[in-house]
Amino acid sequence: MGAASSRLEKALGEQFPEGERYFGLENFGNTCYCNSVLQALYFCVPFREQLLEYYANNKSTGDVEDNMLTCLADLFSQISNQKKKTGVIAPKRFIQRLKKQNEIFRSYMHQDAHEFLNFLLNELVDILEKESKIVTEPCENSSLKKNSNSPVNGQLNGNKKEPVPTLVHKCFQGILTNETRCLRCETVTDRDETFFDLSLDIEQNSSITSCLKNFSSTETLNAEDKFFCDKCCSLQEAQKRMKIKKPPNILVIHLKRFKYIEQLGRYKKLSYRVVFPLELKLINTVDNSDLEYSLFAVLVHVGSGPNHGHYISLVKSHDHWLFFDDENVEMTDESMVQTFFGSAQEFSGNTDNGYILFYESLAEKS
C-alpha cells in the first residue's frame, strides 16, 4: 500500500495538484460498493466543497448526534486534511453508521452500488431538510421523502410546497417532465418529477446517447395500461414521453445492467457494450438546451453476476484520471475509460463494465 501510494506521488511528480489528496479506502468485507461511491462523490468537487463547508459551519455545535451526513462530512474532512498527499483511510465510522441505519447494508453480502448511492443521497436530503426546518420553519408538518430514482412512482409537485433546496438538490437534482397526450381529446398533461439520477435501459452495442433517446421515446399507453384522462373522465389510450425539463448540475447516469430474467427466475448481469463519451449533451431536453457535460467519474462493476463481484471507480481530478480499487489508488489515463464499455458479444469475457457515470455540467464551471 505504502509503495503504491508513493508510486502515485512519483507518477504525478510536480503535477500533483495543490491541496488535493488521493486516499484509498479500506475494505471492511464487501464494502467496495460503498468505497467506490464515496470516491466518486469525493471527487464531485461542488458536492465535496459544499459538504466541507457544511461541516465547518456545524462543527461548533458539537453535541449533535451522529448521522449519515455528519459521518460523511467527517470522512471527507478527514481525507482533505491529511498531511500526506496519498495513503489509505479506514472509513470505519461511516460504515458503522451505515449498517446501523439500514439493515440492507448490514450483512457482508455483496451490495448494489446504485442502491447505496440512492439511499445515501436520500438520507442526506432527509437530514438536511429536517435541519433547515428546525431553523427556518419549525411548524411545517410535511414529511418529505424524495424519490431519487424510478420517477414513475412519485409525483411531488403540485401538492407540496417547494422545500428549501439542500446541497444535494443543488448538485444532483434535475426535473423530468412527463408529457401524456390523450389520444381521444388530444389534451396534453404535463407532470414534473424530480430525480437525482437517470436509470437507463441498455441495449447491446449502443451508446449512452442512444439510451437517452430511448428513455425519451414516445410510448403508447393502451390495452391494460390505459391512461386516466381528467378531461374525458375515463381510461383512454394515450402517448407518453419523458423529457428533461431542468438538467442537473451533476448528471448521474445509472445503466440498468442487472435485469430480472423471468425464464431464469433471477437477476442477470448484462455485460452489453455501451459506449459513453467523455463529453455529453442531453438530446432529450424540453428546450434543446445544448448544455454540455464532462465525464468525471465512472463506477465499474467487475464480475459476471449480480450477487457477487467487485466495484472500482475511475475518477478525473485536475485533468488526471485515477483508478480507485479500495485501498489502492493508481494513476491512469483517459483511454482506460474505454476498457469499461462492455463486451460486444455475450460470452467474450469482459465483465468489467461501467455501471454508474458521473458527468458535471460545464456551464457551471465557466
Partner 1 sequence: MAANSSASAAGAGGGAAAAGLKTYFKTPEGRYKLQYEKTHSAAVLHYNHGGKTVSQLTVAYLKEKPAGQGSTPSTPSSSSGMRSAAARLLGTGNGNRTLSFVGGNGVNRAVSGSSRIGGGLGTSVGIGSSQAVANYDGKGTYIIFNAADTLFISDLNSQDKDPIKSIHFSNSNPLCHAFDPEAKEGHDLIIGMGSGDVYSMSLRQQLQDPGRKPVAAQHYNKGDKDGTSTGSRCTSVAWVPEREGIFVVSHSDGNLYVYDKCKDGNNECTFPAIKDPAQLMISHAKSSKSNPIARWHICQGSINAISFSPDGAYLATVGRDGYLRVFDFSKEQLIFGGKSYYGALLCCTWSSDGKYLLTGGEDDLVQVWSIDDRKIVAWGEGHNSWVSGVAFDSYWSPPNSDGTGENAVYRFGSVGQDTQLLLWDLAMDEIAVPLRHPSSGSPTFSSGSPSAHWDNACPPTGVLQPSPRMRDVPKLSPLVAHRVHVDPLSGLVFTNESILTICREGLIKIWVRPSQSENNQQLNSSELVLGNPVSKDRVITSSNKATGSSFKQSSSVIFT
Q: Just list the catalytic residues.
A: 32, 310
Per the structure block, which three cell numbers stand in for 261?
Answer: 430474467
Contact between 213 and partner 1 (CB under 8 A)? Answer: yes
Give me the amino acid identity at 275: V
The DSSP call for residue 306 is S
CB 295 within 8 A of CB 252: no
Rounded-to-integer distance, Cα 77 and Cα 69, Å: 12
CB closer to partner 1, 147 vs 294: 294
Per the structure block, which three cell numbers stand in for 327?
Answer: 485501498
The distance of closest approach from Cβ of residue 287 to partner 1 in the complex, given in angstroms and rounded to an integer, is 6
Contact between 219 and partner 1 (CB under 8 A)? Answer: no
Q: Which member of 218, 220, 234, 304 binds partner 1 (CB under 8 A)? A: 218
CB closer to partner 1, 82 vs 220: 220
Q: Where in 166-195 is the site for partner 1 (CB under 8 A)? A: 179, 188
Determine the size of the site formed for partner 1 (CB under 8 A): 31
CB closer to partner 1, 53 vs 334: 334
The distance of closest approach from Cβ of residue 248 to partner 1 in the complex, given in angstroms and rounded to an integer, is 17
The DSSP call for residue 28 is S
CB closer to partner 1, 206 vs 236: 206
- Give me the torsion for CA of 267, 198, 97, 109, rounded to 10°: 10
DSSP H or E segment with residue 41:
helix 32-42
Q: Where in 280-339 is the site for partner 1 (CB under 8 A)? A: 280-281, 283, 286-288, 290, 292, 333
The distance of closest approach from Cβ of residue 198 to partner 1 in the complex, given in angstroms and rounded to an integer, is 17
The distance of closest approach from Cβ of residue 281 to partner 1 in the complex, given in angstroms and rounded to an integer, is 5
Q: Which stretch binds partner 1 (CB under 8 A): 39-47, 81-89, 213-221, 296-304?
A: 213-221
Nearest partner of 258 among 111, 104, 107, 41, judged by Cα: 111
Rounded-to-integer distance, Cα 275 and Cα 180, Å: 31
Rounded-to-integer distance, Cα 195 and Cα 153, Å: 12
CB closer to partner 1, 92 vs 259: 259
Rounded-to-integer distance, Cα 139 and Cα 297, Å: 40
CB closer to partner 1, 82 vs 348: 348
Q: Which member of 80, 132, 178, 210 binds partner 1 (CB under 8 A)? A: 210
Q: What angle do CA 248, 249, 251 make, to 5 degrees?
A: 65
The distance of closest approach from Cβ of residue 98 to partner 1 in the complex, given in angstroms and rounded to an integer, is 36
Q: Which member of 102, 209, 222, 239 binds partner 1 (CB under 8 A)? A: 209
Burial 179-208 (b: 16+ CB within 10 A, else e): bbbbbeeeeebebebbbbbbbbebeeebbb
Rounded-to-integer distance, Cα 298 and Cα 317, Å: 12
**What does the longest C-alpha to C-alpha distance in the chain come to?**
71
DSSP H or E segment with residue 53:
helix 45-58
Q: Which member of 26, 203, 237, 330 binds partner 1 (CB under 8 A)? A: 203
Contact between 278 and partner 1 (CB under 8 A)? Answer: yes
The distance of closest approach from Cβ of residue 306 to partner 1 in the complex, given in angstroms and rounded to an integer, is 18
Q: Which stretch binds partner 1 (CB under 8 A): 49-57, 124-132, 162-170, 204-212?
A: 204-212
Contact between 214 and partner 1 (CB under 8 A)? Answer: yes
Residue with cell 412519485: 154
CB 341 within 8 A of CB 354: yes
The distance of closest approach from Cβ of residue 283 to partner 1 in the complex, given in angstroms and rounded to an integer, is 7
Q: Where in 124-163 is the site for partner 1 (CB under 8 A)? A: none
Catalog residues that contact partner 1 under the rule CB under 8 A: 179, 188, 203-207, 209-210, 213-214, 217-218, 272-273, 275, 277-281, 283, 286-288, 290, 292, 333, 344-346
